[in-house]
Amino acid sequence: MTIKKPKDWPNVSYKTWRYEKQTKMKHQVLDNYFPQWLQILNKYNKKLNYIDGFGGLGAYHTKNDIENNAYNSKSFGSPILAIKTINRLISENKVTKVNVLIIDKDKNNIANIQKILFEENISPLNYVNFINGDFDVKINEFLDKLDNIAPTFFLIDPFGYSQIKISTIKRIMELEKSEIFLNFMYNAIQRWIKKPALEARFNELFGCEDWKQYADEPTKAKEEKLVALFKKECETFAEYVTPFRLRNPKSDRPYYYLFHLCNDDTGCVKMRASFARFNKGFTDYCGSDQQMCLFDKNSTKKQVCVEKIIKYFSGQNISYKEFRKQMLKLSDYHTERDIIRTLQHLEKRKSITIAPSDGRKRKTGILKTDIIKIPHLS
Ligand SMILES: C[S@@+](CC[C@H](N)C(=O)[O-])C[C@H]1O[C@@H](n2cnc3c(N)ncnc32)[C@H](O)[C@@H]1O
């Protein structure tokens, strides 16, 4: 578990944590996806919520800040990024009302976030509530009091593995139109998984005892099986579950996985696109060092997509809408762009046909209603 030391500055009254590349990436993805979520949901829901279950310190410093002995980078953490996004979209009349709840177990972190808001003149335009306490306890108390809740985006971003229970994640996903972006701290999980005293914690994290059979597997197999198990358990209550691997370039091991849970295929498509946007088109983070060259990675991706089409769709006539839904579930690491490119490649080779459902002439691009005719391929 990383212990982050808060740093003081001569030019601001609040403290910051060191900004790591993978944290920056997480923020870029969140900052790209969250405004899209707000605007899409706002079309039919004039009240929305953002819940940040592990608020953090609120700001991060860079090497330059250290060299200059002044905090200038203003690289903010998830609660500040979310409030700034909400303020911007409200001022532009793009969203109506978004309430924010920020939870953190450390009262100093809550105070630091409040200092940032004050000192940086970020006045939340909607209601912001801070709760100092344990996420699991507080969120369950909060949900106990509510009969129904507006569509809510949850960020669940702990330092370790022991602060989340799958029963709570399930409870959240049972709320109508809720969505979760969750940090599955694989590095900490694999480090502690064989400690007998922590057995109950791991049972709560996975919601079953199956993890025990993987604890002694070789490194790579253990990772694949534990991640697949957590995904499978999440799929019992969430329609679309996508894990994004964030790899430590020095060791080829993951720092952690970010899991996105939603019940709507548009959310899944947009989150994968947001992740790929900052990762050279891929849904895994490799740091600056790409082990496999991009050409190889791209052709493997296309090949895997073709293989899935042959295996699961041979002999079918299927609308693109339905095809996309199924492909998103069959493959974690294909974005919609990958899926479309593969279909266009197969169409060009005359392996499949794509035609508008109403018999009109096909235009460029693929519409949700278009029918894909896939002969028996091998
Ligand atoms: C990784 S940091 C969050 C970073 C933040 N989401 C961001 O992007 O800037 C994790 C935070 O969780 C808090 N924390 C640890 N255990 C907790 C618990 N059981 N409930 C709520 N917060 C907790 C820590 O104090 C820390 O501030």
Q: DSSP characters for 3-32?
A: -PPPB--SS-SS-BEEPPHHHHHHHHHHHH
Ligand 1 centroid–CA 98 distance in Å is: 22
Ligand 1 centroid–CA 17 distance in Å is: 12
What's the rounded Cα separation, in Å, for the pair 353 and 129? 53
Ligand 1 centroid–CA 54 distance in Å is: 4
Q: What is the mean pLDDT of the chain?
A: 94
pLDDT level of residue 147 (50, 70, 90 thresholds)? confident
Give residues with Cβ within 8 angstroms of 124, minimum separation 6.
83, 86, 87, 100, 117
What's the rounded Cα separation, in Å, for the pair 187 and 374? 42
Ligand 1 centroid–CA 27 distance in Å is: 14
Average pLDDT (62-67) is 97
Count the neighbouring beta carbons within 10 Å of the beta carbon of residue 137.
Answer: 13
Is residue 25 within 8 Å of residue 76, measured between CB atoms? no
Lowest average pLDDT, out of 2-6, 9-13, 66-70, 155-159, goes to 2-6
Ligand 1 centroid–CA 163 distance in Å is: 9
Residue nearest atom 12 in ligand 1 by C-alpha distance: 54
Residue nearest atom 17 in ligand 1 by C-alpha distance: 105
Domain 294-373 top-level CATH class: mainly alpha
CATH architecture of 17-285: 3-Layer(aba) Sandwich (3.40)
- Indicate the domain borders of the chain: 17-285, 294-373
Lookup result for tokens 């108390």: 141
pLDDT at position 295:
64
pLDDT level of residue 2 (50, 70, 90 thresholds)? low
What's the rounded Cα separation, in Å, for the pair 266 and 18? 34
SS3 324: helix
Residue nearest atom 27 in ligand 1 by C-alpha distance: 56
Residue nearest atom 4 in ligand 1 by C-alpha distance: 56
Largest distance between two CA atoms of the chain? 69
pLDDT of 1 over the 60 cut: no
SS3 260: strand
What's the rounded Cα separation, in Å, for the pair 325 and 328? 5
pLDDT tens track for 94-117: 999 999 999 999 999 999 999 999
* Mutate-to-test residue for ligand 1 from 15, 54, 153, highest number of ligand atoms within 8 A of CB: 54
pLDDT tens track for 265-305: 999 999 999 999 998 888 888 776 555 556 667 778 889 99
Which is higher by pLDDT, 196 or 284?
A: 196
Judge whether 17-285 and 294-373 match in fold.
Answer: no
Is residue 331 within 8 Å of residue 305, measured between CB atoms? yes
How far CA 349 is from CA of 164, 276, 344, 346, 352, in Å, comes to 48, 27, 9, 5, 8
Count the neighbouring beta carbons within 10 Å of the beta carbon of residue 283.
Answer: 22
What's the rounded Cα separation, in Å, for the pair 335 and 27? 19
Residue type, 337: R
Task: Tell me 283's DSSP state.
Answer: S
Whether 163 is in the pocket of ligand 1, judged by its Cβ within 6 Å, is: yes
pLDDT at position 116:
98
pLDDT at position 5:
92
**Alpha carbon 62 to its chain's center:** 24
Lowest average pLDDT, out of 168-182, 252-266, 292-306, 361-375, goes to 292-306
pLDDT tens track for 301-339: 889 999 999 999 999 999 999 999 999 999 998 999 999
Tell me the residue length of the chain.
Answer: 378
Whether 79 is in the pocket of ligand 1, judged by its Cβ within 6 Å, is: no
pLDDT level of residue 128 (50, 70, 90 thresholds)? very high
